[in-house]
């Protein structure tokens, strides 16, 4: 698992897509934190919002584009190996669960490292490191990575997951926000399956997001164990 995770982690840093995404995160974090005081004077904010003003830019990017970024990098993490038949080398050497969780771990550490650096950059301006928001963001990323892995297991063709990834990446935050906030009783029950619902309130309900991610990974593992290469 470690070998697969390490390979996944390193290969993610090597692609041009990941370099662009890291650049977007870092530039957004830097400039939004640097000029957050201007934003604070322009609009009326609560005391709590004022306290988190430095992270607002990064949170905006991750909430609205995070899923798109994750899908962009991980939509083919499993099915590319199957499609190119390199998966045959992996499944003859180690367990399928180790392959799946190795891939997940590699992607998770990539996002953990990228977000951590972004938060450290913000902390230069805010003079504090907000562990609570950082944990919320990590929970959201965990959900997004699990969704990408599940999709990559379910759909065998990388070209289709690329298309679906863009679609889900664009629609997920919009639908997620709508489901989390709507009063429509036919729709609102879906909010319990949406990570955004658990991020609306500043409490530890966001930990449920990890459970949702776990469920998706369990589903992915079940399907992956029955796959043929």
Q: Is 217 left (phi over 0), alpha (psi -120 to 50) or beta?
A: alpha
CB of 10 to other proteins, least distance (A): 11
Candidates 16, 38, 46, 92: give the one binding other proteins (CB under 8 A): 92
* Separation CA 171–CA 19 (nearest Å): 24
User: Shortest distance, CB of residue 122 to other proteins, whole angstroms?
Assistant: 34
| Both tokens assigned to 183 | 């009063």
DSSP string for 57-77: HHHHHHHHHHHHHHHHHHTTT
Report d(CA 26, CA 17) in Å as an integer: 14
Q: Looking at beta carbons only, is 184 or 225 nearer to other proteins? A: 225
Q: Binding to other proteins by residue 84, rule CB under 8 A?
A: yes
With CB under 8 A as the contact rule, the residue among 17, 37, 88, 214 that binds other proteins is 88
What b/e readout covers 164-186, taking b as 16+ CB neighbours within 10 angstroms? bbeebbeebbeebbbbbeeeeee
When asked if residue 203 is in the footprint of other proteins (CB under 8 A), the reply is no
Among 12, 68, 90, 179, binds other proteins (CB under 8 A): 90
Instruction: Please report whether residue 91 would count as binding other proteins according to CB under 8 A.
Output: yes
* Rg value, the chain, Cα: 18
Candidates 27-35, 67-75, 87-95, 174-182; binding stretch for other proteins (CB under 8 A): 87-95
Q: Per rule CB under 8 A, is residue 48 in the interface with other proteins?
A: no
| Residues 145-184: x where in contact with other proteins by CB under 8 A, - otherwise, as a string | ----------------------------------------
CB 101 within 8 A of CB 1: yes
Query: How far apart are the C-alpha atoms of 139 and 185, rounded to whole Å?
Result: 27
Q: Which residues are at the interface with other proteins (CB under 8 A)?
A: 3-4, 7, 11, 84-86, 88-95, 226, 228-229
């Amino acid at each position: 698992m470690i070998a697969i995770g390490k390979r996944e982690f390193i290969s993610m840093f090597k692609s041009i897509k990941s370099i662009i995404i890291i650049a977007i995160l870092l530039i957004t974090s830097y400039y939004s934190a640097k000029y957050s005081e201007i934003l604070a004077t322009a609009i009326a904010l609560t005391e709590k919002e004022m306290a988190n003003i430095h992270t607002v830019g990064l949170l905006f990017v991750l909430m609205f584009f995070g899923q798109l970024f994750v899908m962009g990098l991980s939509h083919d993490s499993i099915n590319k190996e199957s499609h190119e038949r390199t998966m045959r080398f992996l499944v003859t050497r180690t367990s399928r669960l180790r392959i799946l969780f190795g891939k997940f771990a590699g992607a998770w550490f990539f996002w953990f490292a990228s977000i951590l650096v972004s938060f450290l950059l913000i902390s230069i301006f805010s003079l504090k490191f907000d562990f609570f928001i950082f944990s919320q963001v990590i929970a959201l990323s965990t959900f997004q990575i699990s969704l990408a892995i599940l999709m990559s297991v379910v759909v065998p063709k990388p070209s289709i997951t690329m298309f679906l990834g863009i679609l889900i990446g664009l629609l997920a935050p919009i639908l997620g926000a709508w489901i989390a906030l709507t009063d429509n009783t036919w729709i609102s029950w879906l909010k319990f399956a949406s990570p955004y619902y658990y991020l609306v309130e500043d409490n530890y309900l966001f930990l449920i997001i990890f459970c949702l991610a776990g469920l998706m990974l369990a589903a992915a593992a079940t399907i992956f164990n029955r796959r043929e290469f």
